[in-house]
Amino acid sequence: MTRRHMLLLGPLLLFLAAAYLIPFLGVMRWSVTLPEPGLHQYRAALTDPLVQSVIWRTLRICTMVTVITVAAAYMLALIWVRSGPVARVLVELCILIPFWISVLTRAFGWLALLSNRGLVNSWLEALGIIDLPLVMVRNEFGVVVGMVHFLIPFAVFPIATAMRNVDERVLMAARSMGASRARIFWQVFVPMTRPGILGAMLLVFVFSLGFFITPAILGGGRSVMVAELIYLRLFQSPNWGLAAAMSVILMAGVGLLIALLLRQLGERTAR
Amino acid sequence: MKRLQPGFPARVIAALLALFLLMPLVAVIPVSFTPSRFLSIPSDELSLRHYRALIENPLWAQGAWLSIRVGVVSALVSTALAAGFAIGIWMLRPRFAGLLMGLALLPMVAPPVVSALTLYFFLVTLSQFNDFIAYDRWAGVVMAHVVMVAPFAVVLISVGLSQIDRRMDLAARSMGAGLGTRVFRVILPNIRFSLILSLFLTFVLSWEEIAVTLFITSIEAVTLPRLMWMGLRDNIDPAIAAISVFLIVVVVLAILGRTLWHIRTRTRETS
């Protein structure tokens, strides 16, 4: 490797080392030095009832979001990959348009639909179905709806890739042996797309763990998740040590899951 | 034998899901015409006051202008750094290529809130030494955005490089071309589409970045998403609906244009 080659590789690596790796070490140092040296912030993160409830809520919401998102994405990918050209273009538009619109605009759209004076409540009141507005935001329901909406496009892509790789001849073989459509779908097609489903689930779960903007807007401070708690402990009721410790724990958890994802990808390509 | 297509129930579910994906984007339209000062559905009169507010309140123009400047500089810097890195990896194929790639992609896979805290630490530390690349300064925002968007540029440019013929570069080298000539006259012209795509994507990502921006700015460097966030948190300002309608229209037009163009070229190829 010549010195001039380092002119190509070097700048980005140096930049990331200076602006990301070393500061992250600094954050790790905060987690064991603020307000005083020791591991008590990690102990607090694992025993404090408030932090515990936030961690459990995060895991519960992320699990729910993952299951709903992947199921929905599977149906969309099915139409996208396997139906006629018109339906294909329509589904593609419905996936791509939200994908390119910012997270803030999308969260605001859900506020416009679901808040007390929003579209849904206004219609239901005008129709005389309800007297008092239904509470659909500033709670977990709003958070789950907003997160599912944000994550569906990300889940569609890996599932669609797996579906495109399904060998058509296997489906034909099943049909010629007399299997019903339902049986072909559940016992042949779905198992053959399992790598895509698992990949999408891990991807969505990892993404949702660090979610911040959507829960903060649609949860309205009532259903705080880990990422928002880090923000609050930094800017509203400061406890920088705890914020740093939770970041380190979050990073470790995500790192573990990504290692799993990579191993799964490796097995798939090795096969 | 005809290819198996999804049945009627699957189509109905997919249609409902498509509706779910588009609904919040449509819902902001009526809200943007409300005559009142808070989020509500206009009942008898429509008003353009929130669109007028976008023009009359200088904060919106300032925020948009700052976002454009930050986006353009971040796109140029991150694409340049990423191109150097990706070309370096492609030419040298160093032994630790996987590790180096992992390092370069780290900010993309780490939870946004962890990156935000890390970059906050970085900029707060830098603030002690200078007032330019610092917390709540536009150059600081550029710095942070480059960290966040460079991995996407690395991915796009690496994909572009994987599609060009290595022998072209070997031929140039055997004819005595130096490193500079090989990079600027042989490789870069061949990946120009990836470079343009990378400039575009990094600009869009920086333009709508909010999670990190929220941590590293307060009152001086207020980008457009940061301004929207402030209007969303406390009293929901319907001006957000007006700006959202504008952003959604831009995205929809761009994607429809792209889709139509694709359909036209595809039909021309087949006919």
Q: Which residue of A has its CA nearest to B243?
A: A105
If 0-12 CB within 10 Å is exposed, 13-18 middle and 19+ buried, where does residue A236 land?
A: exposed
A137, A220 in Cβ contact below 8 A?
A: yes
* B211·A115 Cβ contact <8 A: no
**Sign of the torsion angle spanned by Cα atoms A138, A139, A145, A149:** positive
Q: Output the pLDDT for position A270.
A: 52
What whole-number distance in Å separates Cα of residue A160 and Cα of residue A164?
A: 6
- Which residues in chain A (164-203) have CB-CB distances under 8 A to chain B? 168, 171-172, 175-176, 181, 184
CATH superfamily of B61-237: MetI-like (1.10.3720.10)
Per residue in A152-181, pLDDT tens? 999 999 999 999 988 888 888 998 898 888
What whole-number distance in Å separates Cα of residue B59 and Cα of residue B117?
A: 27
> Is A6 within a domain?
no
What does the DSSP assignment read for A197-264?
Answer: HHHHHHHHHHHHHT--HHHHHHHTTTS--HHHHHHHHHHTS--HHHHHHHHHHHHHHHHHHHHHHHHH
Best mutation target, B118, B147, B173, B235, to test chain A (most A CBs within 10 A): B118
pLDDT at B148 over 60: yes
Domain edges within chain B: 61-237
> Is A3 within a domain?
no
What whole-number distance in Å separates Cα of residue A2 and Cα of residue A173?
A: 57
> Is A253 within a domain?
yes
A11, B102 in Cβ contact below 8 A?
A: no
| pLDDT band (50, 70, 90) for residue B245 | very high
Per residue in A201-241, pLDDT tens? 998 999 899 888 899 899 877 788 999 999 998 888 888 88
Q: Which of B158, B18, B144, B146 is nearest to B87 (CA)?
A: B158
Q: Output the pLDDT for position A269.
A: 57
- The whole-angstrom distance between A227's CA and the closest CA on chain B is 6
CATH number of the domain at A107, please. Answer: 1.10.3720.10
If 0-12 CB within 10 Å is exposed, 13-18 middle and 19+ buried, where does residue A93 land?
A: middle
Chain B residues with CB inside 8 Å of A91's CB?
Answer: 14, 18
Q: Which domain holds residue A244?
A: 33-270
* A9·B236 Cβ contact <8 A: no
pLDDT at B271 over 70: no
Mean pLDDT by 10 residues, chain A (271 residues): 77 92 92 83 85 91 96 93 86 90 91 88 87 87 94 93 89 88 88 90 90 87 87 87 91 89 68 48
Side chain identity, residue A189? F
In Å, how far from its chain's centre is CA B147? 13
* A20·B228 Cβ contact <8 A: no
Encoding tokens for residue A70?
A: 């992947």
Q: Measured at the alpha carbon of residue A89, what is the angle toward residues A84 and A90, in degrees to the nearest 5? A: 100
Q: What is the mean pLDDT of residues B40-47?
A: 81
> Is A18 within a domain?
no
Q: Output the pLDDT for position A1.
A: 55
Q: Is A113 on the interface with B (CB under 8 A)?
A: yes
Chain A residues with CB inside 8 Å of B118's CB?
Answer: 20, 23-24, 26-27, 247
Chain A residues with CB inside 8 Å of B154's CB?
Answer: 12
- The whole-angstrom distance between A144's CA and the closest CA on chain B is 13
Nearest CB neighbour to A79, from listed B10, B22, B204: B10
What whole-number distance in Å separates Cα of residue B192 and Cα of residue A250?
A: 38
pLDDT at B2 over 70: no
**Residue-averaged pLDDT of chain B:** 89
In total, how many domains does chain A have? 1
Residue showing tokens 């992250």: A24
Per residue in B98-113, pLDDT tens? 888 888 999 998 999 9
For the complex shown, is ipTM > 0.90? no
- The whole-angstrom distance between B63's CA and the closest CA on chain A is 15
Q: Is A110 on the interface with B (CB under 8 A)?
A: yes
**What pTM was computed for the model?**
0.90
